[in-house]
């Protein structure tokens, strides 16, 4: 992780084919583009690779989430249950369609706690949105049962888990709809881009129009298309799609490297008895873009982070608890309703409540968690050295805190 680490001639070839035509837009200009349709090719490759019925590319993962919600009929006043640990884009998309983000606790899967989800359901709840963080998955079986029981939409934010699976099915293809992000630091990248995946033809048709100003794309002349409903400009460009087309052809290679490097580093860290690892509902489906691990206490974890920083080895290790992009604790702009445009009354009420909401269960998890990004460029020797240095730091801090440092 991420795909840009192995950017090469394949991407240049695909991009150059677009540049040679001069047609950078995904729609229209049929003659001059000389049969070059990179976005269409990438959508077909996504369908084949991940096993979904339909795929609609967008300009970003955020745009994909917004598009999916609109196509699913999620809007003003509807509550969307989502985790307290995610990227800010998840709640941004909810707010963008007028809906209400309802944040609930995560457990040691680093994703939605099903018990917390069920407790948060109200008559206004419309959707449950698990976010498959750091390459691994939520407990989808439990969440599916909750959605069936309460007749709710299951929308997968799989933006961080490209290539992951759950019981043999690709993450992002299991709910009513699912999304990927193809931004610069995802497992496969378009530089900027995203996709909505679904097995429902009606949802797909709505996504297709919504991302292009409501065009229904049913005419020969794009300028004469009907507009059955409102839409927005969430189109991907042919240049971005070209990059993604080259990257998706390498996905199996990327995943094999990630999983190998992940396994080697885990084999080193798991020798420290005080370390516990993230719970993965289906270990065989982990995309292994991150190795997430827990230390006994918040104080020990913070001390390890500080020592790694002092020794210059913190890079690539993420302490989400103090991060202001990914965890509710530092989402001050959300809690303070710092929006440039006025939000609706239901949104304002919900965000005010987040200020005083009890996230102690999430804090107990996230305050002890460090996630190590798995590079595809590491050599076995580099992994061994990295692991050795990390273990030395952890053992030093554990000894300072008088914790058993027994090596397994």
User: Could you tell me if residue 407 is inside a domain?
Assistant: no
The arithmetic mean of pLDDT across residues 158-182, rounded, is: 98
Q: Which of 251, 270, 303 is the last residue of a domain?
A: 251
Q: Are residues 343 and 233 in the same domain?
A: no
Q: Are residues 174 and 60 in the same domain?
A: yes
pLDDT at 380: 98
The arithmetic mean of pLDDT across residues 346-360, rounded, is: 96
Q: Which of 230, 251, 272 is the last residue of a domain?
A: 251
Q: Are residues 264 and 247 in the same domain?
A: no
b/e string for 350-373 if b means 16 or more Cβ within 10 A? bbeebeebebebbbebbbbbbbbb
Q: Are residues 276 and 338 in the same domain?
A: yes
User: Could you tell me if residue 10 is inside a domain?
Assistant: yes
- Tokens for 98, please give them: 């007028």
User: Could you tell me if residue 396 is inside a domain?
Assistant: yes
Asked if pLDDT for residue 396 goes beyond 90, the answer is yes
The arithmetic mean of pLDDT across residues 399-405, rounded, is: 83
Output the average pLDDT for the chain: 96
Q: Are residues 96 and 235 in the same domain?
A: yes
At 235, the pLDDT band (50, 70, 90 cuts) reads very high
Q: Are residues 76 and 112 in the same domain?
A: yes
Share of the chain above pLDDT 90, in %: 95
Q: Are residues 178 and 309 in the same domain?
A: no
Cα–Cα distance measured from residue 402 to residue 105, given in angstroms and rounded to the nearest whole number: 31
Asked if pLDDT for residue 208 goes beyond 80, the answer is yes
User: Could you tell me if residue 189 is inside a domain?
Assistant: yes
Residues labelled as active-site residues: 186
The arithmetic mean of pLDDT across residues 175-201, rounded, is: 97
403 Cβ partners below 8 Å, 6+ apart? 274, 296, 300
pLDDT at 225: 86
CA angle 343, 177, 141 (to 5 degrees): 110
Cα–Cα distance measured from residue 120 to residue 102, given in angstroms and rounded to the nearest whole number: 8
Q: Is 297 helix (H, G, I), strand (E, B) or coil?
A: coil
pLDDT (tens digit per residue) in 118-143: 999 999 999 999 999 999 999 999 99
User: Could you tell me if residue 408 is inside a domain?
Assistant: no
Maximum separation of any 2 CA atoms in the chain, in Å: 74
pLDDT at 256: 97
168 Cβ partners below 8 Å, 6+ apart? 285
Beta carbons within 10 angstroms of residue 231's beta carbon: 20
Greater pLDDT, 225 or 22: 22
pLDDT at 403: 75
Asked if pLDDT for residue 196 goes beyond 80, the answer is yes
- Domain range for 61: 3-251
Domain count of the fold of the chain: 2
Instruction: Supply the CATH number for residue 222's domain.
Output: 3.40.640.10
pLDDT (tens digit per residue) in 362-371: 999 999 999 9
pLDDT at 405: 64
User: Could you tell me if residue 122 is inside a domain?
Assistant: yes
pLDDT at 2: 79
User: Could you tell me if residue 176 is inside a domain?
Assistant: yes
pLDDT at 406: 62
Q: Are residues 152 and 220 in the same domain?
A: yes
Q: Are residues 378 and 231 in the same domain?
A: no
Instruction: Supply the CATH number for residue 357's domain.
Output: 3.90.1150.10
The arithmetic mean of pLDDT across residues 60-64, rounded, is: 98
pLDDT (tens digit per residue) in 73-122: 999 999 999 999 999 999 999 999 999 999 999 999 999 999 999 999 99
Q: Are residues 88 and 232 in the same domain?
A: yes
Greater pLDDT, 2 or 69: 69
Asked if pLDDT for residue 155 goes beyond 90, the answer is yes
Q: Are residues 139 and 180 in the same domain?
A: yes
Beta carbons within 10 angstroms of residue 396's beta carbon: 15
Q: Are residues 99 and 198 in the same domain?
A: yes
pLDDT at 408: 59
pLDDT at 8: 95
The arithmetic mean of pLDDT across residues 354-366, rounded, is: 97
Q: Which of 251, 285, 320 is the last residue of a domain?
A: 251
pLDDT at 267: 98
pLDDT at 42: 98
DSSP result, 345-401 = HHHHHHHHHHHH---HHHHHHHTTEEEEE--SS--HHHHHHHHHHHHHHHHHHHHHT
């Amino acid at each position: 992780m991420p795909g840009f680490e192995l950017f090469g001639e394949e991407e240049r070839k695909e991009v150059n084919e677009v540049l040679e035509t001069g047609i950078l837009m995904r729609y229209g200009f049929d003659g001059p583009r000389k049969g070059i349709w990179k976005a269409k090719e990438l959508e077909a490759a996504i369908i084949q690779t991940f096993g979904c019925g339909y795929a609609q590319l967008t300009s970003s993962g955020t745009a994909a989430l917004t598009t999916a919600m609109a196509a699913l009929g999620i809007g003003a006043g509807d509550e969307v249950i989502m985790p307290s640990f995610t990227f800010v884009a998840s709640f941004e998309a909810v707010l963008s369609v007028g809906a209400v983000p309802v944040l609930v606790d995560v457990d040691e899967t680093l994703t939605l706690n099903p018990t917390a989800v069920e407790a948060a359901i109200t008559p206004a709840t419309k959707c449950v949105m698990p976010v498959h963080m750091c390459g691994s998955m939520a407990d989808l079986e439990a969440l599916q049962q909750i959605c069936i029981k309460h007749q709710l939409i299951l929308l997968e934010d799989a933006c961080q888990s490209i290539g992951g699976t759950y019981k043999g099915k690709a993450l992002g293809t299991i709910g009513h709809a699912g999304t990927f992000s193809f931004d610069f630091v995802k497992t496969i990248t378009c530089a900027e881009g995203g996709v909505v995946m679904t097995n429902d033809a009606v949802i797909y048709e709505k996504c297709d129009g919504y991302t292009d100003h409501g065009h229904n794309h049913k005419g020969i002349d794009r300028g004469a298309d009907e507009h059955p409903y409102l839409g927005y400009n969430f189109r991907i460009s042919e240049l971005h799609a070209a990059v993604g087309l080259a990257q998706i052809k390498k996905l199996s290679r990327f995943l094999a490297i990630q999983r190998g490097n992940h396994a080697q580093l885990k084999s080193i860290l798991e020798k420290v008895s005080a370390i516990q690892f993230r719970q993965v509902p289906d270990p065989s489906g982990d995309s292994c873009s991150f190795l997430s691990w827990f230390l006994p206490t918040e104080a020990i974890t913070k001390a390890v982070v500080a020592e790694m920083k002092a020794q210059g080895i913190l890079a690539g290790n993420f302490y989400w608890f103090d991060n202001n992009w990914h965890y509710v604790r530092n989402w001050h702009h959300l809690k303070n309703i710092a929006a440039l445009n006025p939000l609706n009354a239901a949104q304002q009420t919900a965000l005010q409540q987040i200020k005083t909401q009890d996230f102690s269960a999430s804090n107990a998890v996230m305050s002890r968690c460090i996630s190590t990004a798995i590079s595809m460029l590491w050599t076995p020797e580099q992994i061994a050295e990295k692991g050795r240095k990390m273990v030395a730091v952890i053992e030093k801090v554990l000894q300072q805190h008088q914790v058993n440092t027994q090596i397994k």
